[in-house]
């Protein structure tokens, strides 16, 4: 588990298969999220999950509880920070759940999907803004991680309207961690990227 945000490179291509979605005239059936009978639901899972959350929950796995312990290494302050950061994961699941079927299949095929912020659908932009809001609310006063993810992007060179920012999801080449990732296009045409974990494949 890597709570510290970091600048990253482009992830390699690894094949995978997934399918997701409903028929044209079908509405998704919402039921409470479940995990295996011997594992309780994580605290961050909403009691009344949205359709978008449930779409993501069907194809992604919650971060195993032992990852918190591994990350903290006996340090209670680090453990508290990890638990705090996990409160943003429901919003990340909801954002992932706004991907189209084609985008979701692409993610599981090449382990990455990338979208210009300016081309997001209204539902996707609302989910992204909610993720920014949740991060700001949860991280306020933590003293370690950035309190406002938008400020981080602006410091990386993002324009105020995010017109030079792409957003999406990727998964580690040799692991199962899933990240929310932002690419900021620089004046020289290069990209600076920043990501943070929120789920497992």
Can you count the helices (H) and strands (E) in the chain? Answer: 7, 5
Condensed to tens digits (0 to 9), the pLDDT of residues 144-178 reads 778 899 999 999 999 999 999 999 999 976 668 89
Quote the CA–CA distance of 50 and 198 in Å, as a whole number.
Answer: 17
Condensed to tens digits (0 to 9), the pLDDT of residues 106-120 reads 999 999 999 999 999
- The count of C-alpha atoms lying within 13 angstroms of the C-alpha of 124, restricted to the half-sphere facing its C-beta, is 17
Condensed to tens digits (0 to 9), the pLDDT of residues 12-61 reads 222 222 323 344 444 444 556 665 555 678 888 998 999 999 999 999 99
Quote the CA–CA distance of 83 and 85 in Å, as a whole number.
Answer: 6
Q: What is the pLDDT of residue 36?
A: 55
- Closest by alpha carbon to 152, among 1, 5, 2, 11? 5
**Whole-number average pLDDT of the chain:** 81
């Amino acid at each position: 588990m890597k709570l510290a945000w970091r600048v990253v490179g482009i992830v390699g291509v690894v094949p995978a298969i997934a399918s997701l979605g409903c028929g044209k005239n079908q509405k998704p059936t919402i039921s409470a999220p479940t995990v295996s009978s011997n594992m309780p639901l994580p605290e961050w899972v909403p009691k009344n999950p949205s359709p978008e959350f449930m779409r993501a929950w069907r194809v992604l796995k919650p971060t195993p509880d032992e990852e918190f312990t591994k990350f903290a290494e006996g340090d209670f302050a680090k453990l508290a920070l990890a638990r705090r950061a996990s409160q943003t994961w429901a919003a990340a699941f909801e954002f992932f759940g706004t991907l189209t079927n084609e985008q979701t299949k692409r993610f599981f095929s090449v382990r990455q999907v990338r979208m210009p912020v300016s081309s997001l659908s209204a539902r996707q932009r609302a989910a992204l803004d909610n993720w920014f809001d949740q991060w700001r609310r949860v991280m306020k006063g933590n003293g370690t991680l950035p309190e406002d993810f938008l400020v981080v992007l602006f410091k990386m060179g993002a324009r105020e309207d995010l017109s030079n920012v792409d957003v999406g999801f990727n998964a580690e080449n040799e692991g199962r961690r899933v990240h929310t990732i932002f690419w900021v296009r620089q004046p020289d045409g290069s990209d600076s990227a920043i990501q943070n974990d929120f789920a497992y494949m």
